[in-house]
Chain A
Amino acid sequence: MNESVSRATAGMEPALPAPSISPDIPFASSIESAAAEFFEWFGELGIFFSRVVRAAVTPPFEFRELVRQLDEIGSKSLPLVALAGAATGVVLSLESRFSLTRFGAKSLLPAAIIFSVLHETGPIITGLVVSGRVGAGIGAELASMKVTEQIDAIEASAVNPYRLLAAPRILACILMLPLLTLASDLCGILMGWIAQALVEPLSLHQFITAGFNGADFNDFLPPTFKTAVFGLIIGLIACFQGMRTKGGAAGVGRAATSSVVLSSLFVILADVVLVKLIIIFFP
Chain B
Amino acid sequence: MARETIMEAISQNATKQEAAENLSADPAIAVADLHKSFGTQKVLDGLSLAVNRGETLAVLGRSGTGKSVLLRIIIGLEKPDSGYVRIHGQDISGMSLDQLGDIRKKMGFLFQHAALYDSLTVEENVAFPLQHHRQSMSKSEQSDRVTALLAEVGMEAGLKKMPSDISGGMQKRVGLARALALEPEILLLDEPTAGLDPISSGEIDDLVLKLQAEHHMASIVVTHDLHSAKTIADRLALLNKGKVVIEGSFEELKKSDNEFVRDFLAHS
A residues near B243, Cβ cutoff 8 Å: 5-6
Q: Does A30 touch B at the CB level, under 8 Å?
A: no
Within 8 A of A (CB), among B1-23: 3-4, 7, 10-16, 19
Closest to B237 in A: A5
The A interface is mostly helix, strand or loop, or mixed, namely loop
Q: Are the C-beta atoms of A12 and B109 separated by less than 8 Å? A: no
Q: B109 contacts which chain A residues (CB < 8 A)? A: 153, 156
Contact of A4 with B245 in the complex, beta carbons under 8 Å: yes
Cβ of B118 within 8 Å of any chain A Cβ, yes or no, is yes
Which residues of chain A from 8 to 24 have a CB within 8 Å of any chain B CB? 8-13, 15-16, 18-21
In the complex, are the beta carbons of A156 and B107 less than 8 A apart? Answer: yes
Partner of A150 from B3, B10, B117 at Cβ < 8 Å: B117
How many chain-B residues does the 8 Å CB contact rule pick out? 63
A7–B256 alpha-carbon span in the complex (Å): 14
Is B227 part of the contact surface with A, judged by Cβ < 8 Å? no
Residues 27-56 (chain A) with a chain B CB within 8 angstroms: 51
Report chain A residues within 8 Å CB of B237. 5
Minimum CB–CB distance from A117 to chain B (whole Å) comes to: 37
Cβ B132 vs Cβ A15 within 8 A? no
Judged by a CB distance under 8 angstroms, whether B82 is at the interface is yes
Given A5-B243, A16-B82, A156-B77, A148 and B113 contact (CB-CB distance below 8 Å): yes
A6 near B111: Cβ-Cβ < 8 Å:
no
CB under 8 Å from chain B, chain A span 165-200: none
Smallest distance from the beta carbon of A174 to chain B beta carbons, Å?
A: 23
Chain A residues with CB under 8 Å of B83's CB are 15
0 or 1 for each of B234-268: is its CB under 8 Å from A? (1 = yes): 00010000011111110010001010000000000
Q: Which of B16, B40, B116 contacts A12 (CB 8 A)?
A: B16
- Count of chain A residues with a beta carbon within 8 Å of a chain B beta carbon: 36
Q: How far is the CA of A60 from the CA of B134 in the complex (A)?
A: 13
Q: Which residue of A is nearest B42, CB measured?
A: A18
The residues in B between 137 and 159 inclusive whose CB is less than 8 angstroms from any CB of A are none
Do A149 and B113 touch (CB < 8 A)? yes
Contacts of A155 in B (CB 8 A): 76-77, 97, 104
Asked if B39 is an interface residue, CB under 8 A from chain A, the answer is: yes
Quick check: is A206 within 8 A (CB to CB) of the other chain? no
- Quick check: A6 and B115 within 8 Å, CB to CB? no
Q: Mark B72-112, 1 if CB is under 8 A from A, else 0.
A: 10011100011100000000000001101110110101011
Task: Verify A158–B111 contact, CB threshold 8 A.
Answer: no
Find out whether the CB atom of B46 lies under 8 angstroms from the CB atom of A15. Answer: yes
Report the bound CA distance from A4 to B47 in whole Å: 11
Q: State the B residues within 8 Å of A (CB).
A: 3-4, 7, 10-16, 19, 33, 35-37, 39-40, 42, 45-49, 72, 75-77, 81-83, 97-98, 100-102, 104-105, 107, 109, 111-113, 115-118, 128-129, 132-133, 178, 182, 237, 243-249, 252, 256, 258
Q: Which 10 residue pairs spanning A and B have beta carbons closest together?
A: A18-B37, A11-B13, A5-B244, A158-B104, A149-B115, A8-B11, A153-B115, A158-B101, A1-B248, A6-B243
Q: What are 5 A-B pairs with beta-carbon distances under 8 A?
A: A11-B12, A150-B116, A154-B117, A158-B101, A158-B133
